[in-house]
Structure 1
Amino acid sequence: MRITVLGGLGAWPTAEQACSGFLVEHDGFRMLIDPGYATLQPLLARIPAARVDAVYVSHGHPDHCADLQPLLRARVLADRSGPPLPVHAPAGSLDRLLAVDEPGLVEPAYAARPFAPGDSFPIGPFAVTTWSLPHWVPNAGARFTGPGGVLAHTGDTGPSPDLVDLARDADLLIAEATYPVAVPDRHAGNLSSAAEVGRYASAAGARRVLLTHLWPGTDPALALAATRQAYAGPVEVARPGLVCGIGV
C-alpha cells in the first residue's frame, strides 16, 4: 500500500499547500481520501482524473471534500462515456456540494455509496470499518485493511475512546492534529491536538503516526514535539508529496 500526501492543512489552503487529502494505491487500485480544498491540482500532477477508482469522504466540511466537485467535472466533461466514480461518504454529507453545478452535469460522473458512521463495507481491495467520531457534523473515522496492512484515518474528531480501537495496531495512523497542545474552548470536543494524538496512538500501539489538518501557520516542530511526549514510535507531519508505504 502506498499513501501519497496531497496536502496537510485544516480549514483553508495556503499558497504552499492544500488541505488534507491522500491518494492511496494498492496493486493498481487508486483511492482518494478526503479531497479537500486545493487537493485536485497535486492529484492531477500524479494521475489523470479518470484513473481514480474510488473516493472516501470522512465528513462534509469543504476542507475535506470541496475538490470532489472539480474532480467530477474533470471526469465527465473530458469523457461522458466514462464509468461513474464510486463515492463513499456519510449519507447526506455531500448533498450541498454536489448541487452547486447545473442540474444533471456531474451526476453521470459518480455513483453515490452513502453509509452511516459505524458501518463496514469494501472499497476495492480494502475492508473498511468506520466509527462515528465527535465533530460538528457526522464524521466517520475509518480503518482500511488491505493485503499488506492497516491504514487508520480519523477525519476530524474530538476526544473519544473509540480512537484507540480505530488506531489499534495500525501500520499507519493518519490523525487530525489541528493544534499542538491545547484545543481552544471554541473547538473543544470537536477537534484534536497533537498531544492527544500521541496519547491514544501510544495506547493503541499504532506503528507509525502521520499528523495532518494542522491549523495554517502552525510550526510542524511544535506538533511533533507534542506527540512525542507520549508516543515513542515514528511520527511525521503531512506535507505535500510525502509518500508512506505499508507492507512494502
Structure 2
Amino acid sequence: MTFIKTLSPLKLSGKTIVIPVVSTANVAQLAADLLIASLGLERVAVFDSRYGIPLVGSSEDGVGITTAFELYGCETSEILVFQQRCPPLRNRKQEFIDEVLAFLRQAGVSGCLFLSGVDSSNRTDNQMFTPIYQLQSPMNKNNNSLLSRLAESPMPTYTSPMLRRPGDSNDGTQIPFIPGGGLTRRFLLSLPREWSIYTAAILMFAMDGDNRADAHLLASAVVTVLGLESNIKEWKEPESWNQGLFGTPHDSTLYG
C-alpha cells in the first residue's frame, strides 16, 4: 500500500507544508484546525493509517469519515496542512517519520514547518517572556520558501535546560531536547544530509486544559511567519469544537 492516497489533483510542489506533531496539550492540532477552517482548506489526500493508533470519526462537514493522517490544501493557498489526529504506534515511529520525509521530497514542497507543544513545567525563568519559540534545521539555506523569513523574525530560538542523555550539549550545535514535544526532535534529527527543503519548527509552551486561546496564538504566529495575514480576515473555529472538543457535557443528575 502506498503511503498517500490522493483525493484531488492539487499541485503540491512549491508549497509550504505545516505538520502539527502530536504533543503537549494537542495545541499543535488545534492550531492546524484553525488554519484549515480559516483558510478554507479542503481534504486533498489521506495517508496510510497503519502507522498510527487506530482512529476514525465523523468528518467536519458530516460527509464521510475522518482518519488518522490527512492532507489539506486548495489551489488558492500557498500552504498545505498535514493534520495528525493520533500519535504513531510506538514500534513504527521511525517508519512513519521516514515515510513522511519521503513524501515531502516526492511532493516537491519548498518548506516544512512543524508545530509542537512543549511541557510548561520545564520552562525556565528566561522563557517567561513569550510562550512561542522557533527551531531551525542546521541544514537550512536561503531559498524561495515562505518559511525562510522565519530566520529573520524576532521569535527567539528554543533552548532546553534538560539534556536528553549524557553527552548531549546545550551549546546550540544540536537539536535540543523538547519535553512533551512528541516526535518533533526526532523529525529534525532524521533529516538526511542532502536535505534541501527549508525545515523549521514553532514550539509553544502549554499545559493541558482549555487550549483554544493557545491555539489561536500559535496559529497567528504561523500566519505572521508565512506572511498570510491578508488571507484571514477573522479566525474561524471548526464546528466540531462546539460539540466534541472536550467531550459531551456531564449528566447533571450525577451531582444530585
TM-score, normalising length: structure 2:
0.34
By percentage of residues, which structure has more strand? 1
In terms of Rg, which structure is larger?
2
By percentage of residues, which structure has more helix? 2
